[in-house]
Amino acid sequence: MSEPVSKLESALRAGTFVFTGEIGPPKGTHIEPVIHEAVASLKGRCAAVNVTDIQTAVMRASSVAGCKLLLDAGVEPVLQMVCRDRNRLALQSDLLGAHILGIRNVLALTGDHTTLGDHPQSMPVYDLDSVGLLEAIVRLESGTDMGRDMKGNPNQLDGSPRFFKGCCVTPCAEVVDPQIIKLEKKVAAGAQFVQTQAVYDPAAFEAFMRNVESLKVPVLVGIVMLKSAAMAKYMNRSVPGVVVPEWIITRLTEASKEDRQKVSIEICGQLIRQMKSCCQGAHLMTLGWDHCVPEIIAAAEA
Amino acid sequence: MIVAERKPMDEIVAMLAPHRKVLVLGCGGCVTVCLTGGEKQAELLAGQLRLAARQAGRTLEAAFDCITRQCEREFFDNLTEDPRTYDAVLSIACGAGVQYMSELYPEVPILPGMNTTFLASNVAGGVWEEYCRGCGDCVLAWTGGICPITQCSKSLINGTCGGTNNGKCEVNPEMECGWLRIYERLKALGQLDNYRTLRAARDHRKDRGGGVRRLVLKDMAESQESGNE
């Protein structure tokens, strides 16, 4: 087995339960608070931190810029890359650029549709899909790109990148089999780790994990912090493949306003405790409540 | 068939504002079938335009005519009106008809009365739905006869994304997830291996990436050429 290319890869190979975090670049240039918060709350606790790529199709500063600033601050980034906004030329170019800047983890995603975001008139690209993007990364690693020279041979790169390549899956989709087949294709295309969509149903997740056991890739279960009962209900209504069970909504409803954050942390901790024996890590999506990460990890390890 | 829908009246009125004498020209092809751009609609629209002009205090002479198809030269011989005697023609054919007629009558402004939208089937009374994008590289053989380029809002080729929500697509709760439909159909056909197979990135030169696309039937084109000599 070749040398790990990132701390995230090393940690997952070592077999310890791994935490990853997530930050979203700002809409604007004022990125310092986001990086500061990541350093204060995630550094040393998360093996790596994802930087979202124009999440939910709402225009924001680039993921590459956020990743570079995290690197400079001593936090290992995971570059999220969606297929919505760039064709294969731009995706490959940005992958080379990311490697040049020192970024070593990439998460290949399809990307929410343009019409869901704040520029609904824009062109949805999807020149490659998430499987195609993973194949493109592997191609670059092999020293060629997706193009051909005049003689029809693959273009040779002057220096090739190496990445630890990830993908996403929705384990609790109402029809999960097509999701599992797609995951199998992503792994066949080169995915080496999985960060899942939010999971609130440990039993469904365990069943899912049994189904993908043969894939032999580490899976980090997705944990999205629920800030209120209203948010939980919103997710049930509007977020595909996410079901927040009644017991969680009840606990959030019963919590007083000042207790809500504490209850939310406890729920995350409880979910991770219930699922940690069947997966290799947890991907914490705190949606700006980065300061809760140390307590979530403590609760998960209690 | 090609579906086209009439442009909003305000837009048509604004388009025709500089002109006094206009011919509204229907097409007997697809737009007649989808009841938006045939002879009947041409007559109706000419009347509406005269009325709109009168209400705005202007005079507009608006006649109508219709030919079998505006995308073929021979049918223009059947025009009862001569376009050259009008200030402008408002064509209510699809975009192909409007452009082809512009080439045949370079001295007359040929204006579009329609927005050409999609390739459709007539799925219910008065309802036409998009079924084909004309991508130039048909995949229906391995997708259970359901087109992922058209029926998946992201035109994905390797299966469903995370945006499938209770069988619906994230872009529109009315729209079924195309890949879920493909999955169910392939499963019913015992062809799920077609879903499992990795599909290579598409060649967009066959779609719109390679400029104007042409169909040349070599034998026919050659015999016509020699016949012309």
Query: Nearest C-alpha of chain A: how many angstroms from B179?
Result: 8
Rounded to whole angstroms, what are the CA distances from B148 to A107, B115, B141, B144?
Answer: 24, 24, 12, 10
CA angle A108, A133, A184 (to 5 degrees): 75
Round to whole Å and give the CA distance between B48 and B32: 19
- The residue of chain B nearest to residue A190, with distances taken between CA atoms, is B198
Round to whole Å and give the CA distance between A229 and A249: 5
Residue spans of beta strands (DSSP E) within chain A: 18-23, 48-51, 77-82, 105-109, 144-148, 154-156, 164-169, 193-198, 219-224, 281-285
Phi, psi (5° rounding) for residue A170? Answer: -110, 95
Round to whole Å and give the CA distance between A197 and B203: 31
Contact A189, A135 (CB under 8 A): yes
Round to whole Å and give the CA distance between B92 and B45: 10
Does the distance separating the beta carbons of A135 and B156 come in below 8 Å? no
Give me the pLDDT at residue B227, please. 64
DSSP state of A281: E
Element (H, E) at B185: helix B178-188
Contact A114, A82 (CB under 8 A): no
Contact A79, A51 (CB under 8 A): yes
Contact B150, B133 (CB under 8 A): yes
State ipTM. Answer: 0.95
Contact A10, A218 (CB under 8 A): no
Instruction: Give the bridge partners for B119, in sequence order.
Output: B2, B132
Give me the pLDDT at residue A82, please. 98
A-facing residues of B in 141-160 (CB < 8 A) are 153-160
Does the distance separating the beta carbons of A113 and B154 come in below 8 Å? yes
Give me the pLDDT at residue A138, please. 98
Report residue B22 as tokens: 């206009």
Does the distance separating the beta carbons of B160 and A178 come in below 8 Å? yes
Does the distance separating the beta carbons of A240 and B170 come in below 8 Å? yes
Round to whole Å and give the CA distance between A204 and A171: 8
Report residue B53 as tokens: 């002009």
Give me the pLDDT at residue B222, please. 80
Does the distance separating the beta carbons of B154 and A240 come in below 8 Å? no
Q: Is A28 exposed, middle or buried (0-12, 13-18, 19+ CB in 10 A)?
A: exposed
Report residue B3 as tokens: 């579906």
Element (H, E) at B172: strand B172-176
SS3 B210: coil
Give me the pLDDT at residue B224, please. 76
Give which of B133, B135, B161 to mutate to test A binding, by max A Cβ within 10 Å. Answer: B161
Give me the pLDDT at residue B161, please. 96
What are the DSSP calls for B29-42, one per residue?
SHHHHTTSSSHHHH
Round to whole Å and give the CA distance between B34 and B28: 10
Round to whole Å and give the CA distance between A281 and A18: 4
Q: Does B164 touch chain A (CB under 8 A)?
A: yes
Query: Nearest C-alpha of chain B: how many angstroms from A152?
Result: 15
What are the DSSP calls for B40-71, one per residue?
HHHHHHHHHHHHHHHHTT---EEEEEEES-TT
Write the CB contacts of A1 (distance below 8 Å, at least 6 apart in sequence): none
Write the CB contacts of B6 (distance below 8 Å, at least 6 apart in sequence): B12, B36, B37, B41, B45, B92, B113, B114, B115
Contact A290, A38 (CB under 8 A): yes
Domains of chain B, each with CATH number or no CATH? 2-118 (3.40.50), 138-196 (no CATH)
Residues of B in contact with A107 (CB under 8 A): none
Total residues belonging to chain B: 229
Residues of B in contact with A185 (CB under 8 A): 158-159, 196, 198
DSSP H helices, A7-105, are 7-14, 32-41, 63-72, 88-100
Give me the pLDDT at residue A238, please. 87
Contacts 24+ apart (CB under 8 A), A227-232: A227/A260, A227/A261, A227/A264, A227/A287, A227/A289, A228/A252, A228/A260, A229/A253
Query: A88-100 and A63-72 are packed helices; what angle lies between their axes, rounded to 10 degrees?
Result: 10
Residue ranges of chain B whose pLDDT lies below 70: 227-229
Q: Does B170 touch chain A (CB under 8 A)?
A: yes
Rounded to whole angstroms, what are the CA distances from A18 to A49, A140, A171, A214?
Answer: 11, 28, 19, 20
Give which of B157, B158, B164, B168 to mutate to test A binding, by max A Cβ within 10 Å. Answer: B158
Give me the pLDDT at residue B228, please. 57
Residue-level pLDDT, tens digit, chain A, 302 residues: 789 999 999 999 999 999 999 999 999 999 999 999 999 999 999 999 999 999 999 999 999 999 999 999 999 999 999 999 999 999 999 999 999 999 999 999 999 999 999 999 999 999 999 999 999 999 999 999 999 999 999 999 999 999 999 999 999 999 999 999 999 999 999 999 999 999 999 999 999 999 999 999 999 999 999 999 999 999 999 888 899 999 999 999 999 999 999 999 999 999 999 999 999 999 999 998 999 999 999 999 98
Question: What are the boundaries of each domain within chain A?
Answer: 7-223
Does the distance separating the beta carbons of B166 and A174 come in below 8 Å? yes
| Torsion angle, alpha carbons of B166, B170, B171, B173, to 10 | 20
Does the distance separating the beta carbons of B155 and A113 come in below 8 Å? no
Report residue B193 as tokens: 């291996």
- The residue of chain A nearest to residue B163, with distances taken between CA atoms, is A240
Query: Nearest C-alpha of chain A: how many angstroms from B37?
Result: 28
Q: Does B188 touch chain A (CB under 8 A)?
A: no
Round to whole Å and give the CA distance between A114 and B185: 28
In this structure, which CATH number among 3.20.20.220, 3.30.450.20, 3.40.50.720, 3.30.2130.10 belongs to the domain A7-223?
3.20.20.220
Does the distance separating the beta carbons of A184 and B183 come in below 8 Å? no
Residues of A in contact with B170 (CB under 8 A): 112-113, 116, 240
